[in-house]
Amino acid sequence: MPKPLWNRIVCVSFVEARIERAAPDGPETYAVERVASGGDVDWDEPRILAGFWRLLERGNYRLATWNGRSFDLPVLRARAFVHGISTGVWHRRGGRWDGYGQRYSDEYHADVMDLLSAHGAAAKMRLDEAAKAIGLPGKIGENGAMVADLYANGDLPRIRAYCETDTIQTFYLYNRYALLSGRTNRSGHDASAASMTEYLQRERIARPHLGIFLDHWLGRSDALTPEPAAGATPQASDH
């Protein structure tokens, strides 16, 4: 794998979800607002990077990633360095012990792969195997090794679709970690999973790859198919 500096960003995909609590210190629920890729397919790397760092600056976001501490964020920061794009929010957000760059806090950045391995004390799992372990479909068709060829062939829409399905699985994995770590309870966990399912159902006609993912997921015999939680009055979080 090349050093972060020598990678090239062609797509940044994400799930944006609102953190809700029925009480200030209560369990969290994650209400999915969108699954998206930054910008348009014709955006160049500097524009994609500038858009990502502006988005992070604009909202008080908690990041949830899979191997993001070791790969995604170092690449995003290194390529911003190359193009002279500010990443100041990465350094300023949060306190000394819980900011984006703090490995041992999951308050602003939760690298779920690192957290589940006890920060490297145990073997780390690939996204594909962790997803399949909790009933998700894992990789469907594409994988990271194919991205360079897809880009060379000009198939940016397929890259964006692949990256978006990876972020969906990362959302579910973070939701399961939130249950494991006590940030949410079973009711909140299931409501968050249902929020994503409902979003995918709404979007499946306009964005077929989301429907394909949903069908693969619900087609698994061990898939978690939660019912929406009822009776809670949500309260928006500030991050």
Q: Is the pLDDT score of 224 beyond 50?
A: yes
Q: Model confidence at 24, in pLDDT bands (50, 70, 90)?
A: confident
Smallest Cα–Cα separation from 110: which of 59, 58, 186, 174?
174
Three-state secondary structure call for residue 212: helix
- Whole-number Å distance between alpha carbons of 25 and 185: 12
pLDDT at 189: 98
Q: Model confidence at 220, in pLDDT bands (50, 70, 90)?
A: low
CATH number for the domain spanning 49: value is: 3.30.420
Q: Model confidence at 42, in pLDDT bands (50, 70, 90)?
A: very high
The pTM (predicted TM-score) of the whole model is 0.89
Smallest Cα–Cα separation from 192: which of 34, 63, 29, 18?
29
From first CA to last CA, the distance across the chain in angstroms is: 33
Residues 6+ apart with CB under 8 A from 211: 200, 203, 204, 205
CA of 65: how far to CAs of 45, 152, 198, in Å? Answer: 21, 26, 22
Lowest mean pLDDT among 39-53, 64-78, 147-161, 165-179: 147-161
The answer to whether 24 touches 169, Cβ cutoff 8 Å, is no
The parent domain of residue 28 ranges over: 4-236
Number of folded domains in the chain?
Answer: 1
